[in-house]
Amino acid sequence: MDVDRAPLGRLQLAAAAAIPIAFLAIFFVYPLATIVGRGLAESGSSTFATGETLRIAWFTTWQAALSTALTLAVGLPLAWVVGRFAFRGRSLVLALVLVPFVLPTLVVATAFVAVLPGRLDRSVPAILLAHAFFNVAVVVRVVGGYWAGLGRTTEAAATVLGAGPWRRLREVTLPQLAPALAAASALTFLFSFTSFGVVVVLGGPRIATLETEIYSQAARLFDLRTAAVLSLVQLGAVAAIVVVASRLEGRLLGGRSSETARRVLRRPRGRERWLVGSVLGSSAVLLGLPLAALIRRSLSTPTGIGLDHYRVLRRETSILLVTPLEAAANSLLFATLATGLALAVGGLLALALARLRPGWLDALVLLPLGGSAVMLGFGFVIAFDEPPLELRGSALLVPVAQALVAAPFVFRIVAPAIRSVRVELREAAALLGGSPLRVRREIDLPLVARALGGAAGFAFAIALGEFGATIFVAQADRPTLPVAIFRFLGRPGAENQGSAAALAVVLALLAAAAALVAERAGGRRSPL
């Protein structure tokens, strides 16, 4: 018999699910429900014009659509290379392309401030470019991974019938890639729609999305009623996007066959070598130029190249109540706590749902991934401001907020690993007298240990750079690195901008190291 079907096994799975469900109910559902209640109860008294709300919602939508189109244009050539060809360094390319995705949004925004000319660093084109840089990994990993599983039979038949490369691409390859393209587009649109750090830095005060306006109304103007109305609009939009993305992802997973999954990548031949080299070279320039400009700005001083901005990080400033290095220590501490929480929440949910077919329950678990971080932080401010959950002044809300953003990534990595464990191994262990708990400990845990290591690295990187919710709940004397960067960027002067760039480089190195360790530990398994 399957050990998972034993009464004791089902009871243990239910107990495992109860803990993360309670965590999500208190720290995700309850704050969102509080926002909905405030919006429905007080929307009539809001001073924010309906026309202005529609204008901001429309801008949020069309900039996300343009960002998605630009990301596809940048990412598809690289997806073609990694999805069709085997070459030396392919695994390194897949790891490095994931680094921009896990970089904190404030690092990305600061990098584009450094690389773009003065006329463009506070504009819509700057936002679109930053979103494409940030989300190119989604296209490469989703489309490239699916492309690697497509068989060559249909394409070879089209070649025999006289179809040229462009016609084969248009009439054979693109229709086969449609599920992956749709899923990658939906995820990119979702991340661009809920973007906060990029828009608040590169958009400046003139450009507003739903995310940035919620922050402006709640944190700057103290108009909680208007922020609640905007949060309600945001919640409805995000819910619709998550439903669409989940359905498209279901089609993506269901469209793969065992025959196509066995396809082997081949080495490029002839003119293909030049094309592959050109794509890899141009992608390296596009993805590396903003980070190179950020490093250069952090080293630029009035007397030339030097480490002056890095030395300042050890000193107290009027911008922070602590030194910037203390903010870095806060980030490491909070990210470590958040990683532990995310592993517990995402891992226990993966354990409880792994024996079920992927479906709507998986989509519910992934909802915090597409939820608005600003909306979540605003929900914390409202929901935890009075008994019995008066937690607004607690520093623990920071790792809680970070864990809510990171837990879906843990689930996406660990659940497939648990599902891949052969049922026969559990049945053999049960027949030998192993209890369900012992089977989990001695069979499942060793087999998914590598996935857990990768999940921990990704969770740490995501928590390290979380900004949208943290800006609401971080205490003034315990800022994180993203909060410190934001405060330096908000002050004029070359010294403050240089200090922000130096902090951004430190944060980028920490996040990139965590991402590369996670990619190495997790092997082929990743959240994308």
pLDDT classification of 259: cutoffs 50, 70, 90: very low
pLDDT of residue 331: 93
pLDDT classification of 493: cutoffs 50, 70, 90: confident
Cβ atoms within 10 Å, residue 171: 12
Q: Is the pLDDT score of 390 beyond 60?
A: yes
Mean pLDDT, residues 72-100 taken together: 85
Task: Identify the three-state secondary structure at position 305.
Answer: strand
pLDDT of residue 382: 83
pLDDT of residue 445: 65
| Main-chain dihedrals φ then ψ at residue 301, nearest 5 degrees | -130, 165
Q: Is the pLDDT score of 204 beyond 80?
A: no
Q: Is the pLDDT score of 76 beyond 80?
A: yes
Q: Which two tokens stand for residue 90?
A: 């392919």
CA–CA separation, 339 and 345 (whole Å): 10
The pLDDT > 90 percentage for the chain reads 14
Q: Is the pLDDT score of 266 beyond 60?
A: yes
Q: Which two tokens stand for residue 201?
A: 């830095």
Higher pLDDT, 206 or 95: 206
pLDDT classification of 337: cutoffs 50, 70, 90: very high
Higher pLDDT, 437 or 194: 194
Highest average pLDDT, of 182-186, 215-219, 346-350, 398-402, comes from 398-402
| Those residues with Cβ within 8 angstroms of residue 293's Cβ, 6 or more apart along the chain or in another chain | 111, 114, 115
pLDDT of residue 258: 38
Q: Among candidates 132, 144, 138, 142, which has minimal Cα distance to 290?
A: 132
Q: Domains in the chain, please, with CATH? A: 3-522 (1.10.3720.10)
Cβ atoms within 10 Å, residue 25: 11
The residue count of the chain comes to 528
The pLDDT > 70 percentage for the chain reads 76
CA–CA separation, 383 and 31 (whole Å): 5
Q: Are 68 and 192 within 8 A, CB to CB? A: yes
- The mean pLDDT of the chain is 79
pLDDT classification of 262: cutoffs 50, 70, 90: very low
Q: Note the pLDDT tens digit of each residue in 403-420.
A: 998 888 888 788 777 776
Q: Is the pLDDT score of 251 beyond 70?
A: no
The CA-based angle 519-402-70, given to 5 degrees, is: 60
Higher pLDDT, 109 or 388: 109
